[in-house]
């Protein structure tokens, strides 16, 4: 997610510092950005000159001190509250008081993350969707203390990166989009787990019956079953609503390491995919799958 956000931000014309504690992760991120931009050039979605200029606007660093001069700092670390709070505690000490502190969380309440910040009014949710270079939506989320100025700056930032924004005005776990997809995936997984319908037929029903470009199980594979499961657990912990308790099938897939496209297997099997990025074209009302077949489960 971090590399994708860096890519669209730099393509929008802004200078970007991509920060990770691991030099190897930064090298992989830059390689992923270059590969993604090469595909965009090949498909004539951007020019070679613009792609090269975007790469030139990205620098890397291994310490959060590099965010000191940022207008907006976007956190995209693992979906665990203590980890995120530590990042925001450090950013509060490093960044100027006017810097917007944004979180890419998909499910953790913004107010809980902002509790670690010195100025919670400048903390806002900027929930991008994966893969970031291809997905047009950014869900902006107000925490309890998020100020109008921070929200406006976050919107301007996301729109400059080519995104369409929706605003969630009440800070509930899972916001709007994650609550919907988690409930959808949970029920879909239960139907498959109970033998009511196969994974392939369930997704076909959703595509053809509801007009969805992807079924919920293929969406879970694309997003990462581990990510969906963690998000569902976060919502359940916050709400105690039983519909958000992840079914056994999701938890077993995560335990087995079968977490979707990025592992090569999830609800469906994937051949010839070396990364978790969705690289197929949209042709007509549904995406063309890349050598995808139903899993044997």
pLDDT of residue 294: 55
3-state DSSP assignment of residue 24: helix
pLDDT of residue 292: 47
* Domain end marker among 150, 168, 186: 168
| Residue 272 pLDDT class (50, 70, 90 cuts) | low
pLDDT of residue 279: 35
**What strands, in cross-sheet order, belong to the sheet with 72-75?**
72-75, 100-103, 123-128, 137-142, 164-168
Which residues constitute the domain of residue 123? 2-168
Yes or no: say if 133 and 40 are a contact pair by the CB < 8 Å rule. yes
Same domain, 9 and 124: yes
Same domain, 26 and 68: yes
Same domain, 155 and 188: no
pLDDT of residue 55: 96
CB count in 10 Å sphere of residue 286:
17
Tell me what the mean pLDDT of segment 157-183 comes to: 95
Query: What b-and-e string marks burial along 220-230, b requiring 16 or more CB atoms within 10 Å of the CB?
Result: bbbbbbbbbbb
pLDDT of residue 135: 92
pLDDT of residue 137: 96
Question: What CATH number does the domain containing 85 carry?
Answer: 3.40.50.720
Question: What CATH number does the domain containing 195 carry?
Answer: 1.10.1040.10
Same domain, 69 and 159: yes
Same domain, 11 and 155: yes
How many structural domains does the chain have? 2
Q: Is the dihedral of CA 59, 124, 179, 108 positive or negative?
A: positive
Q: What is the pLDDT of residues 218-259, one digit of tens each?
A: 999 998 999 999 999 989 998 999 999 999 999 999 999 999
- How high is the mean pLDDT of the chain? 90
Least confident of 74-78, 227-231, 290-294: 290-294
What residues contact residue 156 under an 8 Å CB cut-off, 6+ apart? none
Yes or no: say if 77 and 105 are a contact pair by the CB < 8 Å rule. no
pLDDT of residue 276: 37
Same domain, 112 and 192: no
The pTM of the full predicted model, rounded to 2 decimals, is 0.83
* Domain end marker among 133, 168, 203: 168
Same domain, 153 and 72: yes
* Domain end marker among 131, 149, 168: 168
Same domain, 282 and 164: no
Same domain, 13 and 128: yes
Same domain, 132 and 273: no
Same domain, 236 and 155: no
| Residue 164 pLDDT class (50, 70, 90 cuts) | very high
Same domain, 106 and 204: no
């Amino acid at each position: 997610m971090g590399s994708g956000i860096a890519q669209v931000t730099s393509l929008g014309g802004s200078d970007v510092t991509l920060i990770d504690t691991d030099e190897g992760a930064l090298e992989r991120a830059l390689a992923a950005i270059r590969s993604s931009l090469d595909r965009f050039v090949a498909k004539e979605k951007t020019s070679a000159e613009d792609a090269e200029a975007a790469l030139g606007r990205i620098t890397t660093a291994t310490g959060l001190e590099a965010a000191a001069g940022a207008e907006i700092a976007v956190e995209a670390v693992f979906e665990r509250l203590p980890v995120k709070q530590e990042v925001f505690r450090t950013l509060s000490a490093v960044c100027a008081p006017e810097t917007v502190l944004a979180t890419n969380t998909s499910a953790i309440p913004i107010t809980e993350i902002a509790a670690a910040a010195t100025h919670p009014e400048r903390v806002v949710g900027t929930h991008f969707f994966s893969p970031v270079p291809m997905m047009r939506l950014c869900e902006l989320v107000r925490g309890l203390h998020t100020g109008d100025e921070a929200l406006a700056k976050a919107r301007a930032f996301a729109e400059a990166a080519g995104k369409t924004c929706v605003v969630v005005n009440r800070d509930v776990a899972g916001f709007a989009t994650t609550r919907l997809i988690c409930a959808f995936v949970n029920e879909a997984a239960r139907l498959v787990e109970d033998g009511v319908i196969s994974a392939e037929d369930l997704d076909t029903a959703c595509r053809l019956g509801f007009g969805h470009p992807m079924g919920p199980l293929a969406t879970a594979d694309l997003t990462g079953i581990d990510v969906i499961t963690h998000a569902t657990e976060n919502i359940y912990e916050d709400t105690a609503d039983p519909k958000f308790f992840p079914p056994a099938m999701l938890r077993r897939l995560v335990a087995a390491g079968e977490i979707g496209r990025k592992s090569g297997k999830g609800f469906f099997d994937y051949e010839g995919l070396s990364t978790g990025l969705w690289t197929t074209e949209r042709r007509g009302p549904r995406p063309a799958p890349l050598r995808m077949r139903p899993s044997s489960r």
